[in-house]
Chain A
């Protein structure tokens, strides 16, 4: 399944020098192919995260459309868009994204249970083992380090086997070995699983995993 962005842009209202808005993403078009890893690099504050959120159905663009296959994402009512997000789109957001009241294992199982496609405990434990945090399954997120939380978020996205995987700085807090592990898992999902994978990162190592590489600065693709 491909994601196609058509002239999308995002403005935030904010007092800047002359204008009273700030253009985080200038109108751009982009297609993410299935079976390929698309990597977006660039300096922080360049609009990468905003673009990723718009592509994943989390942020309504100011202008333009986002097509998932032949569905216009933002024309859907909230209930259907949310359902689609739960079933077809896996997102690894930036920063901490765990539900603090649940254990690591419960966090990983949560998306499937919420959208009515529960995965088994064993599957979840396998994913945690693959990402080398199996021993933390029963721990609460508060006891985890940033890197461990990041790997939990990756496991939570991968376990649902979504057709689209979008990851925002997935290797942010990871050491070299873990970075390699995480990136190769995402690459495997694209090449062997036929998923559409989109990575936002400033990690230079990510170049090695990219099938397509974009740079973004000041809200524009280069």
Chain B
């Protein structure tokens, strides 16, 4: 029996003490890992939103609601239906500094026969689109043809299935990679499909026309600014030139999101720090109490030939094993709570939320484990050091 197996026996044969220390560290690991997982997901969500909004400027109908509605669509996946005349597209293209202008048309499906929510259908023009198509290209090598749709990852329809929208059969040809944004709940198609669906909607009495005589309607125009042009200038030029439309810099939209993300992330970080400090204090007290209770035991160990270092090693081994087990349990528990409820967390936060990749998560878990074991070692090491300084003879005299 060396010091290690003595430590193991001490742990196994005092299950109450061991369980208390393990649970305490498990709680610490749970909060640290769970919290950083949420923050990490929010960060990745923002990054993903940034790359999906590959445009410099977005032109929306001038109504007060359209911008709010567009943001909600982007962040929360609610449906939006706002329209402007297709002639706006030409006006946009006339503005100096506009390199590409790509229209999109939105249509909210009726309650699909599968579920209680409406699905957002987004039509884009394959010739000019530079926003959705690169994304589709990640999972589908070809262009969307007539009556083909690509679905966001949160639409539970497999490739090869048929989605019925306004009683029209749409073939699902691709499921897109997750973005963690509201875009994941939408269905994407080309403009000719969209026009067909708009007509079908019209037949069902769902109108999308601004005036009865307008030919085509669009919902948003994504603008890429030519190199060498100031985006702000182009933006204000667009606002002056295009009638009944507002141009919004995507940057300002992203800033809003990243501001609220910073808020959430600050709150979570504060919580983690609080838990960390609290755990350190509780562990310090717990180990100090344990050390006081076990003073005599440690003095006896010194009596039979254990050195100061040996005693410290024993205490650190015990606390190390406890906090290692606690850390693993805590990380497991956090994973069991955070991963299955990803969608719930996302909808509750209303922010882009994309679970980090496996490598990042492994790193996070490892860091949490190091932190947990470290804090256990710190708290117990202090007690161990104090204990080992005392002459065993002095302890043995007490209350003999």
Residues of A within 8 A of B (CB): 49-50, 53-54, 56, 58-60, 78-79, 81-83, 85-87, 91, 93-102, 106, 109-111, 113-115, 140, 156
Contacts and interface: CB of A to CB of B under 8 A. Distances in A.
Interface string B1-43: 1110010011011100000000000000000000000000000
Contact of A83 (B10, B301, B307): B307
Contacts of B3: 114
Contacts of B297: 99-100
Contacts of A110: 1, 6, 304
Contacts of A82: 302, 305-308, 310
A50 B306 CA distance: 20
A93 B303 contact: yes
14 contacts: A49-B397, A50-B393, A54-B393, A56-B393, A82-B306, A82-B308, A83-B307, A91-B303, A95-B296, A97-B396, A99-B297, A100-B14, A110-B1, A114-B6
A58 B300 contact: no
Please classify the interface of chain B as helix (H, G, I), strand (E, B), loop, or mixed, using the class held by over half of its residues.
Answer: helix
Given A50-B397, A53-B397, A102 B308 contact: no
A180 to B, nearest CB: 24
Contacts, number: 103
A88 B302 CA distance: 14
B397 A114 contact: no
Point out which of A78, A82, A87 has the most chain B C-beta atoms below 10 A from its C-beta: A82
Contact of A99 (B300, B302, B310, B392): B300
What are the 5 A-B residue pairs with the smallest beta carbon separation, nearest first?
Answer: A86-B305, A59-B393, A53-B393, A95-B400, A82-B307
B127 interface: no
B238 to A, nearest CB: 77
Given A99-B297, A156-B304, 6 more contacts: A49-B397, A50-B393, A56-B393, A58-B391, A99-B6, A100-B297
Nearest to B12: A101
Contacts of B296: 95-97
Contacts of B9: 101-102, 106
B304 A114 contact: yes
Interface of B: 1-3, 6, 9-10, 12-14, 296-297, 300-310, 391-394, 396-397, 399-400
Contacts of B308: 78-79, 82
Given A53-B393, A78-B308, A93 B302 contact: no
A101 B10 contact: yes
B389 to A, nearest CB: 10
A99 B309 contact: no
A64 B304 CA distance: 24
A114 B2 contact: yes
Contact of B400 (A58, A94, A106, A156): A94
B394 A59 contact: yes
A11 to B, nearest CB: 13
Nearest to B298: A99
B305 A111 contact: yes
Contact of B2 (A85, A113, A156): A113
Nearest to B3: A114
A60 B306 CA distance: 16
B305 A85 contact: yes
A82 B312 CA distance: 14
A81 B392 CA distance: 13
A31 B297 CA distance: 30
B300 A97 contact: yes
Contact of B303 (A60, A79, A96, A97): A97
A82 to B, nearest CB: 4
Contacts of B400: 49, 93-95
B396 A94 contact: yes
A58 B396 contact: yes
A53 B299 CA distance: 12
Contact of B391 (A60, A97, A111): A60
B236 to A, nearest CB: 77
B302 A58 contact: yes
Contact of A106 (B1, B300, B303): B1
A110 B305 CA distance: 10
B312 to A, nearest CB: 11
Contacts of A60: 391
